[in-house]
């Protein structure tokens, strides 16, 4: 099992995760997309398709960051069960990654050129959070998922009823992210104070603005 691997073996496993995360088409979703049976949205005009594709690109990059965070945290987590929960959450987030990537392609868009840098930064932040202690690491997960949920709600409002496929994907992601946040707090995570969440919001907004364009 993963929890019995040596530190160096885990590093190799994480390198493999990074390659899968950053290589288009390298991962297959374990669960079918919630958009599979819905209309494709071909009636959307070009400007609308481009805007929604860019919103989905932001969410794809968010899933790239999630992979980096969870992998970094699992590297330095002290309790085996916490490490295992991080790795399990990482596997579930792969579904989100694939769903977003597929929808971006359908809309004629592309993923962000900045993903390798965001993955690396997230991995380092995750490892630092894990090293600070499991309660802080879990608290960081909850606070991060709260930020992701805010973006998902905003994007759902922007898409509205125009694109049923994208909306279905984002709604399922929102349900999953809110569950991840709750699970992290229930497992002993520290609820971060408001000023920390505000700082995270500023950083998050900077990421979304750059990813929308690049």
Residues comprising the binding site? Answer: 63, 93, 96, 145, 177, 180
CB of 129 within 8 A of CB of 82?
A: no
Which letter does DSSP use for residue 2 in this model? G
Alpha helix ranges (H) inside the chain: 7-22, 46-76, 80-106, 115-132, 134-159, 164-186, 194-213
CB of 31 within 8 A of CB of 94?
A: no
Annotated binding site for Fe cation: 63, 93, 96, 145, 177, 180
C-alpha radius of gyration, the chain, whole number: 17
CA dihedral (125, 130, 135, 138) positive or negative: positive
CA dihedral (48, 52, 53, 55) positive or negative: positive
């Amino acid at each position: 099992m993963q929890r019995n691997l040596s530190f160096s073996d885990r590093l190799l496993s994480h390198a493999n995760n990074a390659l899968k995360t950053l290589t288009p088409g390298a991962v297959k979703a374990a669960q079918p997309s919630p958009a599979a049976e819905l209309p494709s949205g071909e009636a959307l005009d070009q400007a609308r398709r481009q805007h929604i594709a860019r919103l989905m690109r932001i969410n794809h990059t968010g899933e790239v960051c999630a992979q980096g965070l969870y992998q970094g945290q699992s590297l330095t987590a002290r309790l085996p069960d916490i490490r295992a929960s991080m790795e399990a959450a990482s596997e579930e987030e792969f579904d989100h990654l694939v769903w977003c990537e597929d929808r971006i392609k359908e809309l004629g868009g592309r993923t962000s050129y900045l993903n390798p840098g965001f993955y690396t930064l997230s991995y380092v932040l995750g490892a630092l959070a894990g090293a600070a202690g499991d309660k802080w690491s879990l608290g960081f997960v909850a606070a991060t998922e709260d930020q992701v949920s805010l973006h998902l709600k905003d994007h759902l409002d922007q898409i509205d009823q125009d694109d049923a496929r994208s909306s279905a994907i984002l709604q399922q992601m929102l349900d999953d992210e809110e569950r991840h946040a709750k699970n992290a707090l229930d497992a002993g995570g520290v609820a971060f104070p408001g000023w920390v969440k505000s700082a995270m919001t500023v950083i998050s907004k900077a990421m979304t603005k750059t990813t929308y364009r690049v």
